[in-house]
Amino acid sequence: MRVEARSGRYQDVDVQAIAVAVFKDEKADEGFLKDLDAVAGGMVKAVIDSEELKGKEGETVYLHLPADAKLKTRRLLLIGAGEKQEHLAAQVSMVAGTAVRLLRAKNVKSIGYVSRADLDAEVSATAAVEGAIMALFDLDKYRTVDKDTKTVEQFVVISEADEQEIKRGVSRGQAIGESVNFTRDLANEPGGSLTPTDMAERATAMANEFGLSVDVLDEARMQQEGMGSLLSVSRGSEEPAKLIVVKYTPAAGRANDKELLAFVGKGITFDSGGISLKPGENMELMKYDMTGGATVLGAMRAIAQVKPSVPVLGVVPCSENLPSGKATKPGDVVTAMTGKTIEVINTDAEGRLILADAIAYAKKLGATKVIDMATLTGAVSIALGDVNTAVLGTDQALIDEIIAAGKEVGEKFWQLPLDKEYSKQIKSDIADIKNVGGRKAGTITAAAFLKEFADGLSWAHLDIAGTAWGDEAKPYRSKGPTGVAVRTLLNIVRRLERSQAGN
């Protein structure tokens, strides 16, 4: 889809349909809606006066305009946006996404989105384009029959703000929106189509395309590094593990060499549970167990395009977790890169095993601040459902930053405690630690395990198991992988860049 910025009057934009947000209880005979009604032949006032549209979030009214309407388009989509004071970047994305999905179903090829948010024009344009592009993603990649082939070819952000400002927002929104969909496409791939080797190849191709440095460690190099924790997971599979490292380095003279932010993401390309085999029901969804790694790669893809002034490192440990005669057994003891010994109580708690060595390796590469993300525990879905992503860590300032950055882009994070008492649950009788701490506080004890490998770092952990996959479609988004946290990570980088610049 081609995205464009247009400064000026929406009446003059030649597209097949115009999409406009309408706020809760907004009057049709006042302000913007009064002007829109005048050029739409009185149809806006008609639907509002009849209470067909009250402006509640998610409401839509699709209108074919009369011949005497004073618009170049003959189709108008009104979208309820809720309270005007709550119409922030997240809501802009949702409205734009709703417009694209609904109008695509009507076979509309070109859409004009009228910006009405009381936001910085660049921020508003970014959010609108993100939402529009994310709305295009569907699960039907492998379908050959009954596949909807309708497409939107053009999306125009229309605003009376400075055109260069809108263009900057559109460009940033396109980079981020396409990168979120890159993440979602990876997360939707079957395990047979996306092995650790395949994921490394896709990461390498992406890095080469966008100018990131890339290094892929094979099992021999991981063995040399002492990554016994990571390698213990791949033992049961014929597919070798890979450790993907991508790095963005700003232009000369722009970087702050004192700090290095690293994103670390779990890349289990298929998780059967290993010897601690999962139940067969819904096991096919375990293809999404590499979403943390896909999130890191999507974020790095966007970072390479928006070119912040701060360096960023991405580390993605990849493995399959399968049972075989060579697989790690419950009761085995493995040694991590740090020298710490781990008793493997449950082989289905494998994500933390690969993240342990990846976090340690990020530190070895110079990372001072680490945010890891993983579809780590089923327990987080019981605690927080699919609304909030759990965040835990050792640096309260970093946790607060994640929550604030997420709120700005419409992604919710909820902090869970990480008191030292929880670490007692992962004490082992025969090794330094064990990889599970029992049924109680499963999400927290998983984070307590990772904390053992984040010593000396500013560290936070995101458990995205409940939010990385949507079981139901939304008006603005298909069911399936959500791409959660990509936009938050980009916003964290932007906020870090601004803080270092003193803004």
Query: Which H or E run contains 221?
Result: helix 219-225
CA separation for the pair 128, 106 (Å, rounded): 20
Residue partners of 234: CB distance under 8 A and separation at least 6: 196, 219, 240, 241, 319, 320
Length reported for the chain: 503
Q: How far is CA 352 from the centre of its chain?
A: 20
Q: What is the DSSP string of 122-149?
A: HHHHHHHHHHHHHTT--SGGG--SS---
**462 backbone dihedrals φ, ψ, rounded to 5°:** -115, 120
Residue partners of 470: CB distance under 8 A and separation at least 6: 386, 477, 478, 479, 480, 481, 482
CA separation for the pair 114, 492 (Å, rounded): 28
Task: Write out the two tokens for 27.
Answer: 């009057």
Residue partners of 27: CB distance under 8 A and separation at least 6: 33, 34, 48
Q: What is the sign of the dihedral through the CA atoms of 357, 359, 361 and 364?
A: negative
278 catalytically annotated: yes
Q: Which one is catalytic: 75, 352, 363, 451?
A: 352
| Helix axis angle, 89-105 to 121-134, nearest 10° | 40
Task: Write out the two tokens for 145.
Answer: 């029959």
Q: Are 342 and 233 in contact (CB under 8 A)?
A: no
Closest CA to 136 of 155, 123, 120, 122: 155
CA separation for the pair 27, 37 (Å, rounded): 11
Q: Are 369 and 312 in contact (CB under 8 A)?
A: no
CA separation for the pair 309, 243 (Å, rounded): 26
CA separation for the pair 432, 325 (Å, rounded): 26
352 catalytically annotated: yes
Q: DSSP letter at 424?
A: G
Strand 213-217 to strand 261-265: parallel, antiparallel, or no bridges (unpaired)? unpaired
CA separation for the pair 53, 26 (Å, rounded): 10
Q: Which one is catalytic: 24, 54, 254, 278?
A: 278
Q: For residue 243, which amino acid is it?
A: L
Q: Are 350 and 270 in contact (CB under 8 A)?
A: no
Beta bridge partners of 217: 243
Closest CA to 391 of 410, 378, 372, 368: 372
| Active site amino acids | 278, 352
